[in-house]
Amino acid sequence: MPRLNTPAELEILREKLAKKQSASRPCITVCCGTGCRALGSVKLVDAFRIELAKQGLENQVDIKETGCHGFCEKGSVVVIYPQNICYFHVKPEDAADVIEKTIKTGELVERLLYADPATGEKLVYHHDIPFYKYQKRIVLGDNEHINPQNIEDYIQRGGYSALVKTLFHMTPESVLEEVDKANLRGRGGGGFPAGKKWRTTRDAADSVKYVLVNCDEGDPGAFMDRSIMEGNPHCVLEGLAIGAFAIGAKEGYIYVRAEYPLAVENLYAALRQAEEYGLLGKNILGSGFDFVVKVHEGAGAFVSGESSALMTAIEGRVGEPRPKYIRTAIKGLWDKPSNLNNVETWANVPHIINKGADWFRSIGTEGSKGTKIFALVGKVNNTGLVEVPMGTTLRDIIFKIGGGLRDGKKIKAVQTGGPSGGCIPENLLDSPVDYDALSKLGSMVGSGGLIIMDEETCMVDIARYFINFLSDESCGKCLPCREGLRQLVDILTRITEGKGTMVDMDTLEDLSGVMSEACLCALGQQAPNPLLTTLKYFRHEYIDHIKNKHCEAGVCKALLTFYIDPDKCKACMICARNCPTDAIKGGKGLIHTIEQGKCIKCGACVDTCPAKFDAVIKISGKPIPKNVPAEPIPLNRKAE
């Protein structure tokens, strides 16, 4: 493809692409994001191609490998256009039926349709399926239409029109005003107004400025930025170029986690094509504006998601935070004014420029505008990526979109904002999801992780898990974070082992207060959040662990005891065969017993005991019943 030298040439190409793609021409789109790839979507694409060739339809039907469609629980996901037919859990062996029935005759493959859990009704289209019905997919909306390695897919859907509008119909000041008026707040966790940050960098005295993309995303269970970069990297590049024009930068950097190989691959492909088409590089579209983008692949340190640590890593040094006596917007990368936003923030920019600040402000709440993407994970039925207007309640996300909890369990809490976020109890689920409302609850929007926890979750153990994660990921540069997190882990571990005291409760709170004030960066300052919110909303569980040596959820191993109910045991020997420490005694015809000194509380006996027997019992904080024999006894003899 020859370089595009003017906006007119871009529009001519867009028109050609629209004509080439007939409205009636069938197109099979297959989600090839990381999640669906793990389920075999690449093999599924191959199966479709083979089947189309067999049927002589390879020149009449398009196949498109797209980014994440969001409904990860139901992968591999296939959508057939122009009918918008949605198929789920599609396997390579289903390809023949889809081609033979849906493509050739218009019939539906019933077994691949979404079945409403409540009614059993088969739902065909996006707008009818609850997971999609209650979303507002602005940033994610193009994912199911675009092959991320084909820039022409993005151009056909209006891609780079916002950049044209910026370069030829706006000034840097008017772009800044539009972003400022939209009240776009950073989607990476801090929620700082993007317009203010942009203006600070633009107004800085140094003539050399940088714009940067944070695609580090180290939160457990979070994959929002990864999925955008995998599925639609051009929207990020376009937003970055617009920001560079407004700020006065000629060079940009994308910091991407190296553990995201597909995102890295698609990003490099997008950069190469954007440069070939004249949409990045020298004299973009003949505007006189030069802008180049470089990629830095991160080494996986969680702390490098912090702005100054990220910039330090790009400079080639160890990714550690530095004191921000002067903000990075004024003195950042190589001591130059540097504007850093995360992937989702940049991806919103083209939509704001194209549709206007008033349109963006019409979505969301008073203080939090637009939509937010969340990774909905945990004990919820419909896991995946969801995009909803700011202000949507947690309850609506979990139950309307997420379909409620698995196995009919009750919800206990939801953790928002990643490992530094807070745990919010069930009675507060009607709280709106926005920056200010969640902050009042002791949590935060963060980058967008939503971890759903059911009644079998121990909140003390959850706090220990996240604090331990943060302790491992602390760079160790400042003492309050390095030693504070270690001490929190030690105390929480003691409590989960039944060795805690009531004095530990005060120590946890005092130490958390010191860390919030004294730590160098946000990792340490916000690290106590999961601990403090569990202490606030689930204090009774801490007291129960300390005073009664009892774990309500039956999670903390040191507080558990397993025994075999002699009235239920059928001497099948399954549990004994699966016990890793040979702690289960008894043979054929003998009621089994568990030798407590050998038991490591792994739960293998509970998991393998047939449900029809349900003979292995797990207890916490209680003695073994007196009728349980210490040694195996014959099956036909009652326990004494």
Q: CA nearest 255: which of 298, 303, 291? A: 298
Degrees to nearest 5, angle at CA 120 with 118 and 124:
110
**Is the predicted pLDDT of residue 318 greater than 80, yes or no?**
yes
Measure the CA–CA gap between 76 and 71, rounded to whole angstroms.
9
Looking at residue 32, the DSSP 8-state letter turns out to be -
Cβ atoms within 10 Å, residue 524: 27
**Is the predicted pLDDT of residue 639 greater than 70, yes or no?**
no
**Is the predicted pLDDT of residue 640 greater than 50, yes or no?**
no
Arithmetic mean of pLDDT over the chain:
93
What number is the average pLDDT over the span 130-140? 95
* Residue 139: partners with Cβ closer than 8 Å, 6 or more residues away: 228, 235, 344, 347, 348, 351, 371, 373, 387
- CA distances 458 to 204, 454, 465, Å, are 49, 9, 10
What number is the average pLDDT over the span 248-274? 95
Concatenated DSSP letters of 200-244:
HHHHSS-S--EEEEEE----TT--HHHHHHHH-HHHHHHHHHHHH
**Is the predicted pLDDT of residue 386 greater than 60, yes or no?**
yes
**Is the predicted pLDDT of residue 638 greater than 80, yes or no?**
no
Structural contact between residues 538 and 413, judged by C-beta atoms closer than 8 angstroms:
yes
Instruction: Summarize pLDDT for 601-613 with one digit per residue, the tens.
Output: 999 999 999 999 9
448 φ, ψ (degrees, to nearest 5): 125, 20
Q: What confidence tier does 326 reach under pLDDT thresholds 50, 70, 90? A: confident
- Report pLDDT for 124: 94
- Report pLDDT for 1: 64
Structural contact between residues 170 and 289, judged by C-beta atoms closer than 8 angstroms:
no
Q: CA nearest 139: which of 342, 347, 346, 343? A: 347
- Report pLDDT for 637: 61
Structural contact between residues 209 and 291, judged by C-beta atoms closer than 8 angstroms:
no
| CA torsion through residues 162, 168, 169, 175, sign | positive
Structural contact between residues 556 and 544, judged by C-beta atoms closer than 8 angstroms:
no
Instruction: Summarize pLDDT for 475-520 with one digit per residue, the tens.
Output: 888 899 999 999 999 999 999 999 999 999 999 999 999 999 998 8
Report the half-sphere exposure of 255 (CA within 13 A, side-chain side).
Answer: 33
- Report pLDDT for 218: 79
- Report pLDDT for 64: 94
What number is the average pLDDT over the span 345-349? 97
**Is the predicted pLDDT of residue 15 greater than 70, yes or no?**
yes
Cβ atoms within 10 Å, residue 381: 17
**Is the predicted pLDDT of residue 22 greater than 80, yes or no?**
no
Measure the CA–CA gap between 254 and 234, rounded to whole angstroms.
13
Terminal CA-CA length for the chain: 86
Degrees to nearest 5, angle at CA 393 with 392 and 399:
110
Q: What confidence tier does 544 reach under pLDDT thresholds 50, 70, 90? A: very high
β 590-591/593-594 pair status: unpaired
Helix (H/G/I), strand (E/B), else coil: 254: strand
Global pTM reads: 0.92
Instruction: Report the run of H or E that residue 444 belongs to, with start and end.
Output: none
Out of 55-59, 513-517, 532-536, 632-636, least confident range: 632-636
Percent share of the chain, pLDDT over 90:
80
Cβ atoms within 10 Å, residue 637: 11
**Is the predicted pLDDT of residue 41 greater than 80, yes or no?**
yes
Instruction: Summarize pLDDT for 185-244 with one digit per residue, the tens.
Output: 998 877 899 999 999 999 999 999 999 999 988 788 788 999 999 999 999 999 999 999
- Report pLDDT for 449: 86
- List helix spans (H) across 55-120: 95-97, 104-105
Structural contact between residues 176 and 166, judged by C-beta atoms closer than 8 angstroms:
no
